[in-house]
Amino acid sequence: MTQLIAMQGGYRLLPFRFMRLGGQSSREILVTTDTGEYIFLSEEQLRALVDRQLRPGTALYKDLLARHFIYEPDGHDPLPEMAAQYLSRKDFLKQGPALHLFVTTLRCNHTCQYCQVSRAPLGGAGHDMSEMDARHAVSRMFESSSDVLTVEFQGGEPLLAFPRIRQIVEEVVERNSREKRNVQFVITSTLHHLDESILDFAATHRIQFSTSLDGPAALHNANRPTPTRDAYERTVEGIHRVRARLGTDAVSALTTLTARSLEQPEAIIDEYVRQGLSSISLRPLSPYGFATKSAQRLAYPMARYLAFYHRALDYLLALNSQGTYLVESYTALLLNNVLTPFSSGYVDLRSPLGAGLGALVYNYDGDVYPSDEARMLVEMGEKGLRLGNVQQPLHELLASPAMQLLLASGVAETLPGCNDCALVPYCGSDPIEHYARQGDPVGHRAFSAFCQKNMELLRHLFVLLRDGSEETQRILLSWLSRRSLADVSLPGYRG
């Protein structure tokens, strides 16, 4: 992978990066621009391009010209269009933090082994957010310049502190009658503690729910122990209650994949189909929140996750082609970054980083963090990523030493390894993950699980976009637009 800029005669090269993709096609090289344009070339074509041997007027020449891989010094100036494209791709930078996570309590009725540092016992004292801190946090949120604000309640189990949720929602609604922002509320919950008053309140304020469903009962209950050993049954009952009261789309689910999950992708996906869910998020276990002993039992190398992902994706594509619509969310985010001129805005896939700039976490004790992962690191004894306290103004939090540290390593295009990677326009920097795994926010991409995951997932997606059947490409497009397959016709495809 190399970045090239031609220096002399004929047409000129604009900056691009390239990598070998593998697969069956003779067009084995992926070439990308900073603005996210891409094309597949054979080695001969790439050589001809770089040696400036391409003949004007050919289809390839016109294509490269139109997509700003090359330009003609006496012709159309490409820079204003490229600048506009770049601006669209980095549009999220114009807005302040849009995602605001309120950790209303650390208490939880589960004893999940992979979550030992971000929960407290059910009856534990001193683990709930105070009324005053909640009020300050709402003020911090409205100091953001973002037009769209998502208020997400997290825990522990946030419904155990429902009066605090009620207070925050009411204050946000009252304040927003003047601010006029586009505000969304989400409660991330096991749904075990739902009652009619909570559902009434959720209906009044159009609150969405996000829950965890790890797969069929045996797997879910093994991953998520409770004293009554019925975590699965209670969560599924909660899904039904939310749907009955608020509508089918009012609840979505996420999976946590432990080592034992990796053996059964089909069973996990079948469970999502059985529950009538339209998306599944097959995210690998993060390195945060483990007790060391649990890590040895539950964690796995990224290569095992990737083998799981490939099997799961094949199964999902087969199901979708048989008429069952089920999107893999992370794949849809990557597709958005590849196939549209805009960033998905997903915090982990941003450059500059999304943590802090796009999202803030207000912890139960009033401290503020750039991400949930940074908060969990503090619970594990690593205090370096705390931005400050809810009583400090937002501009001060975003100028804190922790934020400076992250910003210095949060621009993927400047990081060793990423700076000449053809996938960087679609990827992110995630300095917090590198800080957690490698003790250094810059990190070394050769040993980076984040890089290993995104490199392989993006590579595989590009191979599917190049070599996949028409049916596969139609399914991927339907995921991108979150439309059913019947509504999707293939446009003139890029690449």
Which residues make up the interface to ligand SF4 (CB under 6 A)? 412, 417-418, 421, 423-424, 427, 445, 450-451, 454-455
Give yes or no for a contact between 99 and 150, defined as CB atoms under 8 angstroms apart: yes
Neighbouring-strand partners of residue 153: 102, 187
What's the closest the beta carbon of residue 373 comes to ligand SF4, in angstroms? 16
Which lies closer to ligand SF4 via its Cβ, residue 365 or residue 420?
A: 420
**Considering beta carbons, is residue 390 or 418 the nearer one to ligand SF4?**
418
CB of 454 to ligand SF4, least distance (A): 4
| Separation between Cα atoms, residue 491 and residue 10, nearest integer Å | 33
CB atoms within 10 A of CB 146: 19
For ligand SF4, give the closer residue by CB, 63 or 456: 456
Rounded to the nearest whole angstrom, what is the least distance from the CB of residue 26 to ligand SF4 in the complex?
Answer: 24
- How many Cα neighbours within 13 Å face the side chain of 424? 27
Q: How open is the CA angle 55-58-61, to the nearest 5 degrees? A: 70
Q: Which is nearer to ligand SF4, 69 or 450 (CB)?
A: 450
Q: List, in order, residues 6 or more apart from 480 with CB less than 8 Å away.
A: 332, 335, 336, 339, 340
Q: Specify the residue, 394 or 412, whose C-beta has the smaller distance to ligand SF4.
A: 412
Cβ-based neighbour number of residue 486 at 10 Å:
10
- Least separation in angstroms between CB 444 and ligand SF4: 10
Q: Whose CA is closest to 112, among 124, 123, 120? A: 120
Which one, 423 or 461, has the nearer CB to ligand SF4? 423
Smallest gap from residue 19 Cβ to ligand SF4 (A): 9
Query: Looking at beta carbons only, is 236 or 339 nearer to ligand SF4?
Result: 339
DSSP string, 259-274: TTGGG-HHHHHHHHHH
At its nearest, how many Å lie between ligand SF4 and the CB of residue 437? Answer: 13
Shortest distance, position 447 Cβ to ligand SF4, whole Å: 11
DSSP reduced 3-state for 367? strand
Sign of the torsion angle spanned by Cα atoms 64, 70, 74, 77: positive
